[in-house]
Each structure stands twice: as structure tokens, then as C-alpha cells.
Structure 1
Amino acid sequence: MGELRSCPKCGDFYNYTGIREVCGKCAQDEEKMYEVVYRFLRKRDNRAATIDRIVEATGVEEDLLHKWVRKGRLQPAMFPNLGYPCDNCGSLTTKGKMCTNCVNELQSELSKFEAAKEFRSSVENSERATYYADAKKKK
């Protein structure tokens, strides 16, 4: 069973079933725009076009291009200059939610955190387990 939602593009109400984020009329308009973009990109000269060039030539919104790349309708393997913004820094990426630089930085920070956590744990354990072999050194 769907729920009643307002279309973010036109404001009309539609039955949201989890498949489309817009109403049927806007979905048809998006599909027509997709066909225009795909026809443009199929030409050999346009396959390496950037997102700005595609927007300029077709009039399609940049957000729609990002959406199609994210959903896999436009493959970066076929069109190498396509991508969508990283959720962290905004640079273009082709897979996941973050670009490679942000993923590497996050992994580096996590490994530093884990190393610090292990160090704190080893220091705490070594302080508790101090043994003296000679009673005279204990003073």
C-alpha cells in the first residue's frame, strides 16, 4: 500500500509506492529528458562530455544527471566524465557515497583511533599488573 505524497517538482499529490520520488507526469517528463541526454551521449563526439557540457547542450538539470548516474542509468564506464557529488566534500565520484580521497581519509582516521584505543588499553593493563621481584625496590 502506498502513501500520499506531494511531488517535489510540481507540488501535485501522488501515490508513493517506493519506486518513484516524483508524480507520474513528472516521471514521464524526466524520461523524455533522459532520452534527450542519452541520444546526445550516444554520439561518438559527445561520449567524453562533462556534466556542464551536457547541461548546456540538452537543458537538463544537473541534479537529474547525478540521479541517473547514481542509479546506474548512465554508466561512468561508457561516459567517463560523469559522476555525482561525494556526500562529504562534493567532488565527483562514480560509486558509493564518498569519493576515494574521503574514504581513504576516513579509514586513516579510524585506524589512528583504533591504534590510540589499543595503546590506552595496553597502558591501563600494564599499570594494573606491576610486580616487583625485590621488596626493597617497592619503597
Structure 2
Amino acid sequence: MGQLANCPQCGSLYIQNKFRSVCEACYKKEDQLFQTVYEYIRKRENRMATLMQVVRATGVEESLIHKFIKQGRLQLAQFPNLGYPCDQCGTLIREGKICVECRDELKKELNTMKEIEERQRQEQTKTTERATYHVIDRDFLK
């Protein structure tokens, strides 16, 4: 069951669900804008259009076009010059949430953190081994 929420675009109340993040009226407006974008890029002469060319030609906001791509409504295989920004650096990408460079940097940082943790664990083990003392109570042995 959905939750009662305010539409992020117009502020009206609606029942939020996993399929729609806006109210019915705003969804219909978005759908009309999607049709405008799709009809523009569907034409053979516009299939190679860049994102900025589509924005200028249709008047649809760039963020809304990104939303259409992320929702899978626009298939990038058919439109090679379209994409959406990397969540980390903003470079245009065609799949995932972050670009290859950011992913590689993140992997490098994770590996560095693993190495640091392993060294700390080894040093702690050495310190524990060195700090163990065995004392013989000579009076006890008599």
C-alpha cells in the first residue's frame, strides 16, 4: 500500500507508490513531455542528437530527460549521444550510477583501506604477543 505524500513538483497530496514519484496530474504532464522528446529523437535525422540539442529542440528540462533514461523509457542503444550524469563527478554515462574512472578510484580507495586495516590487525596481534608476560611465583613452587 502506498503512503500519502506531497508531490515534489506541484505540492498536491497523492498516494506515493514504487512506480510513480509524482501525482497523477504531474505524471500526465511528464508523459506528454516524454512523448515530445521521443517523437523528436525517433526521427532518423535526430537520432544522433546530443542531450543539449534535444533540450533546445523540445524545451524539456535536462533533468527530466535524465529521469526518462534512468527509468528505462528511453533506450540508449538506439540513441548513442544521450546519457545521464555520473553520481560522483557528473560525466555523462550510459549505464550504472558512476563512471568507470570513479568506479576505479573507489576500488583503489577500498583496497587501500583493506591494506591499512590488515596492517593494523597485524600490528595489534604483534603487540598482544609482545605484551604477554609469564611470571612464575617462586614461593608457590616451594
TM-score category (smaller protein): 0.7 to 0.9
In 2: Cα distance, 1:119 partner to 1:17 partner: 47
Q: Secondary structure at the match of 2:35?
A: helix
In 1: Cα distance, 2:65 partner to 2:23 partner: 18
TM-score after normalising by structure 2: 0.81
In 2: Cα distance, 1:32 partner to 1:127 partner: 68
Shift of the 11–125 alpha-carbon distance from structure 1 to 2, 3 Å rule, reads closer
Shift of 1:3: 2.3
Q: Secondary structure at the match of 2:81?
A: coil
Query: What RMSD, in angstroms, separates the aligned Cα atoms of the two structures?
Result: 1.8
In 2: Cα distance, 1:4 partner to 1:129 partner: 59
- Aligned position for 1:115: 115
Higher Rg of the two aligned structures? 2
1:14 paired to 2:14: yes
What amino acid does structure 2 have at the position aligned with 1:94? R
What amino acid does structure 2 have at the position aligned with 1:37? V
Moved more, 61-70 or 2-11: 2-11
Count of aligned pairs: 130
Identity of aligned residues (%): 45
In 2: Cα distance, 1:6 partner to 1:127 partner: 57
Shift of 1:127: 5.5
- Aligned position for 1:74: 74
Give 4+ residue runs of structure 1 displaced > 6 Å after superposition: none
Runs of at least 5 residues in structure 1 that lack an aligned partner in the other structure: 131-139
In 2: Cα distance, 1:120 partner to 1:13 partner: 53
Asked if the contact 1:70/1:83 (under 8 Å) is kept, the reply is: no
In 2: Cα distance, 1:85 partner to 1:49 partner: 17
Runs of at least 5 residues in structure 2 that lack an aligned partner in the other structure: 131-142
- Aligned position for 1:134: none
1:65 paired to 2:29: no
Asked if the contact 1:66/1:84 (under 8 Å) is kept, the reply is: yes
